[in-house]
Structure 1
Amino acid sequence: MNVDLAGIPIAILGGDRRELELAKTLLDLGADLRLVGFPPHPNLNSAKFLSDAETAVSGVKVVIAPMANTDSEGHIFTRLDQREPIDLTVILPKLTKDTLVLIGVAKPVIAELAHQQGLKLIETAEIDEIAILNSIPTAEGALQLAMEEMPITIHGSRCLVTGFGRCGKTLAASLAALGADVAAADRNKAQLARAVTMGLTPIPLADLHRYTDFDVIFNTVPALILTADYLKKLDSKTLIIDLAAAPGGVDFSAAEEFGIKAILALSLPGKVAPITAGKILSDCIPRLLQEMLEGGGGNAV
């Protein structure tokens, strides 16, 4: 599919180096691009750099917020220019009905406001093509963290991956390829069956309390599953790396109380492989925008 975004007014509000790569691609495709939260860049000379988000979104057809999302109150803190956060709850009411709004995962306040305003909200992190490809730099970043934090090798280590979705599968496969003894926990029986086919130990999430002998636990479930009751059963040397969206799936206060190191590792693709992660967005987002702008439906929620 040949993508042509010539003259389409698009605003990118905040972001990291992933959105920087996307901005370059959108300019190459002819978009009328307005940027807030980015310092001047030699490859973005034809973009409009603005300090005021309300001015930037005036008359646009598309607003792109970061893959790194907002906080629970709707503020965008991810900015390459390190300036004050952007309040997306102030911006959305300024948009006209049917404006496309893209964001990694919309917090409830953003989802509700977009619905009230008649906006077309697209959660980019939930699009299979993006999520599956993003699982690669996420898994590599998680492995890097584990290697830096553990006094032992991944090879021969006892690993648990909680949540066996798109990210969990890629991570578990990478761990197994390095010679780890990997268990996968999930609620879904089909996912657990898939874990068996990969040579992993399947654990129903309801039975997780029976399994505590791990060197490292990687969580991908965006809900509290590693509770205080579970954490107190672990060896204090167990390392926990939480990859789920904030606030994660770990009781971090309890982990600290029990002397367990627990790391909330957010937005790893943008930190460990921003060029690759940016290319993923650049390959997918322009095509999605053209489909949506032409009335193709896409993934609006």
Structure 2
Amino acid sequence: MTPLRTIGSFSAALAVVFGAAYGIGAAVGPGSAAAGPSGHGHARSEAAESVDPTPAGLQVSQGGYTLDLETRSLTADRPGILRLTVRDAHGQPVTAYATEHTKRLHLIVASRELTAYRHLHPTLAAEGTWSTPVDLPAAGSYRVFADFRPAGAEEGLTLGADLTVTGRYTATAPPALSATTSVDGYTVTLDGGLKAGAESDLTFTVERGGRPVTALQPYLGAYGHLVALRAGDLAYLHVHPHDEATAGRTSGPDVSFAATTPGAGTYRLFLDFEAAGTVHTAAFTVRTPH
């Protein structure tokens, strides 16, 4: 942990981060090759992945679409509104989206240290602007991921852009490696690990008070939703559940996924699951073998 620094000092550091992010975003613009691996649960063909192996979420423009993040700055620990527009190759707002995992767009906001995480579902205005309330806990650099599939498109996309959260900044290290975590009175254990550049199976077991939770409720079309981000560049992994949820039925204590990593590294896993009518998020830090 380093001493507190003012946001002025932090802003200077951000200039380096944003410069790198701009270079990545500019490398592939609208009208470029087919999209790379998408985020949660979007079907991907091997042919598409061979055309553009760039991990999801690293680019602001891809496949003819651009993420226009209209909100560039928020204040730490204060309610704010996050606004964005997805634009097509002609710069026009996209207004028609396919439904993926019960939503037309999934919005993920994560701090660079991967200690803060939000999974949001914004509202779409008629003119094509998405907006959602958000309250972020600490100052720093954040990454915003828009995971969506335009209506009529065969493939989904995950586009990313940087967000500054102002306030007094304290640098923090990523959480330690662990296969077990606790959240809101629940204990979640991870069985399985990630493989560098390959698909692997991950199973999460949910317990409460030492007893298996067998009444997990459907959430976003499954009994759990998983987002995985790579430390450093914040590459967004391709993850999908093994079992789809059935309306009105419960399941548990196990929730399983298949995750495909873009390469070796340390990853932060965020598991959303619903129990007793409330969504909880369990976070893990894992590392692939080199």
TM-score of the alignment, normalized to the shorter chain, above 0.5: no
Greater share of strand: 2
TM-score (norm 1): 0.25
Higher relative contact order (Cα pairs below 8 Å, separated by 6+ residues):
2
TM-score (norm 2): 0.25
Larger Rg: 1
